[in-house]
Amino acid sequence: MMPRVLVVGSANMDLVVKAPRMPVGGETVMGGEFSTVRGGKGANQAIACARMGAEVWMVGCVGRDAFGEALVAGLEADGVRCDYMRRHPTAPSGIAVILIDASGENSIVVATGANAELGENDLRQVPGFSAFDVVLTQLEAPLGAVRATLARAREAGVTSVLDAGPPTEAAKALVGGPDVISPNETEAKALLGIPVTEELEPTEAADRLIAAGARNVVLKLGAEGALVARPDCMERVPAFKIDPVDTTGAGDAFTAALAVSLARGDDLVRATTVGAAAGALAATVFGAAPSMPMGEAVEQFMRERGAS
């Protein structure tokens, strides 16, 4: 049977500009190609879960505007069930302004729009969480919706995964909520109340998150792979070497593939390895939603790298 995944989160239209480098404060940099690409951490992950072979439902909120129609149509075209996607009558659909430099690194500013209206009433439209194998959510969704999602998953005995980006001060209270929390290094520091400029070894960051109540941590380390941490052990998962084109969405592909792998019954280290492969493949394609890899491509990529 296909694993069943419920994704609760954001859907944005990404407004993407390529530039030779990132501007500094007060500077204007002449950019190049501009494009609009479907994105948002929730929508990206829902699409990635579907492409990885899961049966996927998404809970989210978009505006009654052209961007909202395009976002829902794109989700449905990728096989995501949108029964629980709400069209808000007044709020505009969320957008993200993304700058991509010549090395493929990105800088992102998000205007949440209708995503901010996602709440517990939307979750009540889902009749039962026990019908799903994994529930996946992210911090682009309002904290109230995230908190309710994690609580309902726990009540139903369903594995929950929280992508800890982008973190806020209030998000610290959610560290112990999910079965698996997956931040990158910057997000881990924010959850721990540590300045982003302060040096913090990944193992220490994971230790501190466990001490703060996290059940399982998958710390995304970019080109260095990932660190899987439980209260009793830690294990490094190496990265897959690639030539990046655009890292936008790579973290979303990672977390989604991790969630689908867990839904299939894989252990956390194996699921993290699958996530690392999916994230690497996503970084070789321009755009967020378009870069989410197919499950067959991830499997082939892992076989070629000796990680199947």
Q: Which residues are catalytic?
A: 252
Are the beta carbons of 67 and 92 closer than 8 angstroms?
Answer: yes
d(CA 289, CA 292) in angstroms, rounded, equals: 6
List the strands of the sheet with 12-18, edge to edge. 34-39, 12-18, 94-100, 106-111
The β-bridge relationship of strands 226-230 and 217-220 is antiparallel
Q: For residues 227 and 235, what is the distance between their CA atoms, to the nearest angstrom?
A: 6
Q: Are 115 and 61 in contact (CB under 8 A)?
A: yes
> How many Cα atoms occupy the beta-carbon half-sphere of 24 within 13 Å?
0
| Neighbouring residues of 209: CB distance < 8 A, sequence distance ≥ 6 | 175, 181, 183, 188, 191, 192, 217, 219, 229
- Reduce the secondary structure of 54-73 to three states and give it as a string: CEEEEEEEEECCHHHHHHHH
Taking the CA atoms of 205, 7, 275 and 250 in sequence, report the sign of the dihedral they define.
negative
